[in-house]
Structure 1
Amino acid sequence: MFEFDQYLGFLAFLTIATIGFWLMIFLVSFIVPYWIGGSIMEMLKEKKEAKRKKREELNA
């Protein structure tokens, strides 16, 4: 059915495909939400700081 070289190639393909699959699962479930959440928090901090500066300018 398979020669040994073809068998090794098939195993290499399965290994690479499996690693890619789990990497995508990891990125989509952990890294991307962490990145988006951090960006949103940073944006809110900047808006809050801008409001505070504007309020200080009006009071001063």
Structure 2
Amino acid sequence: MFEFDQYLGFLAFLAIFTLGFWLMIFLLMFVVPYWLVGNLVEIFKEKRAAKKAAKQSA
């Protein structure tokens, strides 16, 4: 059977593995899409502003 220090090591490994798993889920499901959508919105705003400026100067 496990000794107490081995049990603590196993619990530490399980905690770190679980935290890493949920961090990856959070990054892939929230942070990355939020970043991509924000960048796309900024690109569209810049293109719209450039088109508007070109139309006003012409």
Provide TM-score, normalisation by structure 2. Answer: 0.96
Q: Is 1:39 matched with 2:46? A: no
Aligned-pair identity in percent equals: 62
Q: Over residues 7-53 of structure 1, what are the superposed CA-to-partner deviations in whole Å (9 max), with x where a residue is unaligned?
A: 10110000000010011001101111011000000000000000000
Q: Which of structure 1's runs of 4+ aligned residues deviate more than 2 A?
A: none
| Cα distance in 2 for residues equivalent to 1:11 and 1:24 | 20
Residue 9 of structure 1 corresponds to which residue in structure 2?
Answer: 9
Partner of 2:26: 26
Question: Within 2, Cα distance between the matches of 1:7 and 1:47?
Answer: 59
Between the two proteins, the alignment pairs up a number of residues equal to 58
TM-score using structure 1 length = 0.93
Work out the CA distance in 2 between the residues paired with 1:51 and 1:4. Answer: 69
The unaligned stretches of length 5 or more in structure 1 are none
Gap runs ≥5 in structure 2: none
